[in-house]
Every structure is written in C-alpha cells, then in structure tokens.
Amino acid sequence: MSSFTSLNFLEVTNEAGAAPRPPSSTPFSEDSEKEVEASSGKEVEPVDSLNLIDLQQKEERTTLIEEQLSETLEKESDQVSEKSSDFIVFRKCKFAENSLPSQEKNIFKDDGVSEYVEKPSSGSLETDNVKSTNNEKCQDSVGNEESYTSQEENESTEKPEEKLKKTVRVHSNENISDNTSVAHTSLKSCASVGTGFEKNFELNSILSAIRSNGFLEGSAENGAMVEEAWETIQKSYVYYKGKPVGTLAAMDPTAEALNYNQVFVRDFVPSGLACLMRSASAGGDPVIVKNFLLKTLHLQGWEKRIDNFTLGEGVMPASFKVLYDSHRQKETLAADFGGSAIGRVAPVDSGFWWIILLRSYTKCTQDYTLSEMPEVQRGMKLILNLCLSDGFDTFPTLLCAAGCSMIDRRMGIYGYPIEVQALFYFALRCSRQMLKPERDGKELIERINNRITALSYHIQKYYWLDFTQLNNIYRYKTEEYSHTAVNKFNVIPESIPDWVFDFMPLRGGYLIGNVSPARMDFRWFLVGNCIAILSSLVTPAQATAIMDLIEERWEDLIGEMPLKIVYPALEGHDWRTVTGFDPKNTRWSYHNGGTWPALIWLLTAACIKTGRPQIAKRAIELTEQRLSKNGWPEYYDGKSGRYVGKQTRKYQTWSISGYLVAKLMIENPANLPIISLEDEKRISKPKLTRSISF
C-alpha cells in the first residue's frame, strides 16, 4: 500500500508486449522490471499466413485497449483536477518509520511537515535502471496522507494472461524514488489564470510520444555530443590542494581569459546539478559539489572591504580563482565580492544560489551531515539575516542595485527585479527545510515563514500580467489614495509600451520584470519566470499560463536557438538612456535580448514540472543542431538567435552543463525534485481585482 497526493496525474498504458524500454538512466519499479523481463523473454515467431489471424486479433485488441485507456484517463483527470495544486505527482514508496534505528533518522522539513529519512552510508545517488546504490526507501514530503491501492499491486494478483497493459507514471516533487518507472508526458493546452487545468489529456499525442521513444533515444550524433560535453566538463575542473572545488567559466583558447578563468558561483550551479544527476556508475561526482559548497562557505567568512567600506558579513563571493604563491610554495585563493566586477556591484544572487545548491546536494545524496554542520548553519543564517534585516521597505521584495545578478551590467533592472525576487523566495523555502530550530533558529524560521507568505502574495498579485490584467492596467485611474486604491503603485496607463499589446496573447501570461512606485517593467525575463515555477512562487494556473505564453510566442522567446534571456531588446533612445551606451548590450546581443543556451536546463525543469515536456524536447533539439558545432558559445546574437555572439567566449562551461542537465532531466524526469519545490499550500492565493474604472 502506498500514498499519494496529486493534481496532474498522468497514467499511460500500452500493450504488454509493445512497451518501449527506457534507457539505463531511468529507474524501474520492481513490478515494472519483472514485466519488462517477462515480455522481452518471449520468442518472436516468424510472420506467415498462419499468423495473419493472430495479428488481426492483436490489432483489434490494441484498438480496444486504447479506447478503454481514453475513458480511464478522462475519469481520472476529472478527479485529479479537483485536487490541490501540485504540478506533477510521483508515487510514494512504502516506508516503515519504526524500521529505522533512532540514530539513523533525520528530520527533513518541508512546508511544516516532518519526514524521516534513512541516512545513507555513501553520499551518492545513482539512477540506473535496477536500483540506487544507497538502497534508500522513498518517501515524500506532501502533508496530506491519502492512501490508495496501487495498480501495480492489483496487477500482481492477476494472471499473466490478464495483464493487457503496462502502467507508467510521471514522478516528481520532493523525493526521488529508487524504483520509479518514468514516462514522458505530452504537450497539452491549458487555459490562462482564472480557470482550472484541462480535464482531458491528448491521448494520441501521449501514445505517439511513448511509442516513438522520442525522449528516450537519440541519434549517434547526439550521443557523441553528450560524450563531448562530459569530457569538456571534466577538463574544466579546478583543483585546490588536490581536490576539485569547481569548474572554470570558459576554456576558449582563442580569446583572452579575463575573468573567465575563475569559478563563478551562479555558473557552477548547472555543473553541480549535472554531477549530482548523473549516476555514479556513469561518472557522477557529488564530491565536487560538496567541496564547492564548503570552499565558498569559507570565503564568505573573509573580511570583505572595498574602498575602505566593509560589506555585509553574509555576502557570498561572485567568483574565486586558485593562485600559486611561488614564494611560499603553496596554493592560495583569490575571491571577488564585487570589487573586480564591472560596476563594482556585489552579487545578491550568489548567496541564494549557494543555498539552493546545498538543498539540491542534500536532496540528491541524502547526506544531511553537511547541512547540519555548525558552520553551514551559520552560513545560511548570515545570508538570511542580511536579506531579512529590518529597514524602511514597505514591500516584502528585496531592493537591489543594477548588475547584482546574472544580468551584471546596467540594463534597467534596479529596484525589485523578478529574477532576484524568485531566487530570494526559492532560497527562503530551501533554508526552512535545512535550518535547525536550536537557539536562534526557531525565531529565524518564523521570520522566514512570515516573509514567504507576504512575498508570494505580492509577486502573484502585482507582478502577474495576462490579457485581462493588462486591460485592467490600461484602464487604471491615477492619483488614488487610501487603502481602497486599486492602482496601488500609481502606474500611469500611458507608460505601457506599445509592444506589450501585440505581444500579449489571449492565452497565456507571465511575471513582469519589475514593479515599483510609478513603474512597471513589462519585459519578459526567462530566469525569473522559470525559477518562479520551480520554487512554486506562482500558482499552478499561472505556471500553466507561462508555458502557454512560451508556446504562443515561440518565435520571439525561443527562435532558432534557445533561449531569450529578456524580451524585447532595448533600442534607440531607450538603449542609450537605460544601458548608458553599453557597447556589449547592443540590441539583441548579450543581456539585451541575447540568446543564452545555458538557460535550457531551467526551461526543461519548468516544462517537466508543468507537464509540458514536449516544449523542452523541441528546444533541446534546436540546441543540438548548432551548439556543439559552434564550439559551445556563451550566447548568440540576433532577434532569432541566429548568429554566434560578437564577444562570446566559446567552450563556455555552463552552456555545456546546462545542456547536460536538460538531457538528464528529459531522459529521467525523476531528477526534477533535486531542483524543484512543491506548492506552498498554507498561503492564501490573491484574487486579481478589477479596476474601479473598468
């Protein structure tokens, strides 16, 4: 007997003898593995005139099965759509709490729910098709304990000849199952905010996707591309005192190194995720992630001084490099906290990425000893205290300067950029899972809870834009006072740029770039929207609408090479005033509407979470056509991403690792929980209010 809670529950059936076998990276359930072995062991009889009748009967039986499946999916999806707001569901394995010794139990909190996890003897996670090497029992973190009789258990009591179909499920959310069989869902159309999820799945698309093995098999050329990517990643390893502590930003032999010969915190995240998601038998290396986390934590403790001014104690470095002191004959570290960066801006996002990667390491390896170390607990608290400190703010969002995140040049993101707010929310929720309540931890957790509630409400209500909300803003009254004001930020309707009206489809929506007094930045930012989906900052309906928007505006946001970091580009007078005549951020280049293949992993994870893997598959196929042939560049130029960036570095490590993470997740969606969180059920969802002038 197992338990589950679901919203988007997808069950795909196929005739027992015709089910495709997943690759070795996909974990199997025990029942599914036995069925596959039984089916693969059957001898194939030659087709002759005596077998024509049998073949005809099999075809009729297949048609009947598909008709029965269609009816079953419609009934189940009706029930599933009425449940709580989980995006994708995964099965819970049987877990006996009393079977674990007390010293091997550990509480891993998620959204106020405690769960007990058996500590592994080794800190690695394998995803081969038999079982994980740590042999841990799977459990999930959803609070609603609802039991059901699994279809696999029912099938075990049936006779072999009565098993006419296989059951394959998409698994996700807070834990990775050792014995989970994974299939890829199909693209489905969903309405925008204000309506429920579609109750009918596209059966034909699902069966076609499963039968064609489109997600599971690639060409020999793509296989060579993956192999090349792994070899390049391993060559980029940076060692300190004989231990790998990170990866170089780029290894372009044709260009000056500048600061690309350093280990950047945000750049290493996809490299670390790739090392975590890859099975140990295939070369996965969680040790480098652990070393990186500890080394950057050590650098956090340094005194950070720029021009006689001391930075906050919790600031994490933007990057570091290993130097060799020939005089003392020893290796030393040189860290950059913003003093060497363009514009001399300290990175706000580095601390958030560090917390998110720490949680991913803990989730993947089940090694809780790292997050429980006193120095690691202190490092998290320093970051959080820096962000949660009291000030003059009347908003729960985090005030930031331009250049404090991935967009590290002047691009008009000062104020409350969506990328930083989404990462802030993600880091808060990850920290709440890992913080220990001892001493001041309990008070800090309470502050986190309060901020999470306020921040999610603020983002979901004031940053959200779809066709209905755009029309409301278009008809806003201005100069409204008191608490009854609808136009709370006094946004002038005439400030809405013309391009928004053409860009906004009837179906879809997104989180805009920035909201502050008398200002709404209507630009689309990919990182903020994808992180909002993965952290469950947006509602499930909003997440679906974001995917709808990507579909509707594919040529604008994806083009010939994924993915646009921001849309649209600043041109003419706007480019001159906002960027300060920045020669690198010319229109449709670099951060000003440039195309960044490194972000493919974020899109893939968001697509899997919302049940739209075909969007990611299509984007990955575009990436595979050119990325390796062009030498793994950092970014592309042009409105459709057709040209290799004019100042790009080739053999960019996170372009390579971003592609690898996307491939690992699309081949095995059970990797998603490493970088995804479930919906915050305790937070009341805001209702979009119509303008009083409407």
For residue 602, whether the previous peptide bond is cis, meaning omega lies within 30 degrees of 0, is no
Average pLDDT of the residues in 72-90: 44
* Measured distance CA(585)–CA(554) in Å, rounded: 23
Q: What pLDDT, in 10s, does the model give residues 360-395?
A: 999 999 999 999 999 999 999 999 999 999 889 999
Q: Looking at the domain assignment, is residue 146 inside a domain?
A: no
Indicate whether 515 pLDDT > 80. Answer: yes
Indicate whether 96 pLDDT > 50. Answer: no
Contact 660, 274 (CB under 8 A): yes
At residue 482 the predicted structure's pLDDT band, cuts being 50, 70 and 90, is confident
Q: Looking at the domain assignment, is residue 77 inside a domain?
A: no
**Token code pair at residue 126:** 């394998």
Indicate whether 146 pLDDT > 50. Answer: no
pTM: 0.71
Indicate whether 587 pLDDT > 50. Answer: yes
Indicate whether 196 pLDDT > 90. Answer: no
Is the pLDDT higher at 595 or at 71?
A: 595
Which residues, 6 or more positions from 573, have their beta carbon under 8 angstroms from its beta carbon? none
Which residues, 6 or more positions from 83, have their beta carbon under 8 angstroms from its beta carbon? 5, 6, 7
Which residues are paired to 664 by β-bridges?
Answer: none
Indicate whether 525 pLDDT > 50. Answer: yes
Could you tell me where the beta strands, DSSP code E, fall in 354-433?
none
Range name among 14-18, 387-391, 442-446, 661-665 with the lowest pLDDT average: 14-18
- What was the pLDDT predicted at 625? 96
At residue 283 the predicted structure's pLDDT band, cuts being 50, 70 and 90, is confident
Indicate whether 316 pLDDT > 80. Answer: yes
- Give, as one character, the DSSP assignment of residue 246: E
- Secondary structure of residue 268 in the 3-state scheme: helix
At residue 131 the predicted structure's pLDDT band, cuts being 50, 70 and 90, is very low
Contact 510, 548 (CB under 8 A): no
Range name among 321-330, 535-544, 573-582 with the lowest pLDDT average: 321-330
- What was the pLDDT predicted at 214? 45
For residue 568, whether the previous peptide bond is cis, meaning omega lies within 30 degrees of 0, is yes
- What was the pLDDT predicted at 64? 58
Closest among 493, 655, 475 to 563, alpha carbons compared? 655
Question: Which secondary structure element, helix H or strand E, spans residue 522, and what is its range?
Answer: strand 519-525
Long-range residue pairs from 391-395, CB within 8 A, at least 24 positions apart, any chain = 395/458
Range name among 128-137, 286-295, 516-525, 593-602 with the lowest pLDDT average: 128-137
Is the pLDDT higher at 484 or at 12?
A: 484
Q: How many domains does the chain have?
A: 1
Q: Looking at the domain assignment, is residue 102 inside a domain?
A: no
At residue 167 the predicted structure's pLDDT band, cuts being 50, 70 and 90, is very low
The DSSP string of 285-334 is -HHHHHHHHHHHHHHHTS--EETTEEPPTTPPPSEEEEEEETTTTEEEEE
- What was the pLDDT predicted at 343? 85
Indicate whether 219 pLDDT > 90. Answer: no
- What was the pLDDT predicted at 75? 52
At residue 284 the predicted structure's pLDDT band, cuts being 50, 70 and 90, is confident
Average pLDDT of the residues in 311-333: 93
At residue 226 the predicted structure's pLDDT band, cuts being 50, 70 and 90, is very high
Indicate whether 152 pLDDT > 70. Answer: no
Is the pLDDT higher at 250 or at 139?
A: 250
Indicate whether 274 pLDDT > 90. Answer: yes
Range name among 64-78, 215-229, 436-450 with the lowest pLDDT average: 64-78
Q: Looking at the domain assignment, is residue 542 inside a domain?
A: yes
Average pLDDT of the residues in 647-656: 97
Is the pLDDT higher at 327 or at 616?
A: 616
Measure the CA angle with vertex 469, ends 420 and 82; round to 5°: 85
Indicate whether 210 pLDDT > 80. Answer: no
Indicate whether 79 pLDDT > 80. Answer: no
Mean pLDDT score of the chain = 77
At residue 684 the predicted structure's pLDDT band, cuts being 50, 70 and 90, is low
- What was the pLDDT predicted at 683? 59
* Measured distance CA(599)–CA(603) in Å, rounded: 7
At residue 72 the predicted structure's pLDDT band, cuts being 50, 70 and 90, is low
Indicate whether 156 pLDDT > 90. Answer: no
- What was the pLDDT predicted at 306? 86
Average pLDDT of the residues in 114-137: 38
* Measured distance CA(412)–CA(574) in Å, rounded: 10
Indicate whether 29 pLDDT > 50. Answer: no
Output the CA–CA distances (angstroms, integers) from residue 531 to 68, 123, 241, 361, in the order listed. 38, 27, 35, 18
Indicate whether 174 pLDDT > 60. Answer: no
- What was the pLDDT predicted at 433? 96
At residue 526 the predicted structure's pLDDT band, cuts being 50, 70 and 90, is very high
Contact 663, 223 (CB under 8 A): no
Q: Looking at the domain assignment, is residue 668 inside a domain?
A: yes
- What was the pLDDT predicted at 61? 58
- What was the pLDDT predicted at 128? 40
CATH number at residue 511: 1.50.10
For residue 476, the enclosing domain spans 346-674
Q: Looking at the domain assignment, is residue 215 inside a domain?
A: no
**Token code pair at residue 443:** 């008070």
Indicate whether 456 pLDDT > 80. Answer: yes
Is the pLDDT higher at 219 or at 616?
A: 616
The DSSP string of 525-550 is EHHHHHHHHHTT-S-HHHHHHHHHHH
**Token code pair at residue 355:** 């917390």
Average pLDDT of the residues in 581-610: 97
Indicate whether 305 pLDDT > 70. Answer: yes
Q: Looking at the domain assignment, is residue 425 inside a domain?
A: yes
- What was the pLDDT predicted at 123? 38
Could you tell me where the beta strands, DSSP code E, fall in 138-232?
147-148, 166-169
Is the pLDDT higher at 342 or at 103?
A: 342
- What was the pLDDT predicted at 65? 57
Residue 198 CB-density burial (10 A; 0-12 exposed, 13-18 middle, 19+ buried):
middle
Indicate whether 109 pLDDT > 90. Answer: no
* Measured distance CA(217)–CA(359) in Å, rounded: 31
At residue 691 the predicted structure's pLDDT band, cuts being 50, 70 and 90, is very low
- Secondary structure of residue 167 in the 3-state scheme: strand
H helix and E strand count, the chain: 21, 17
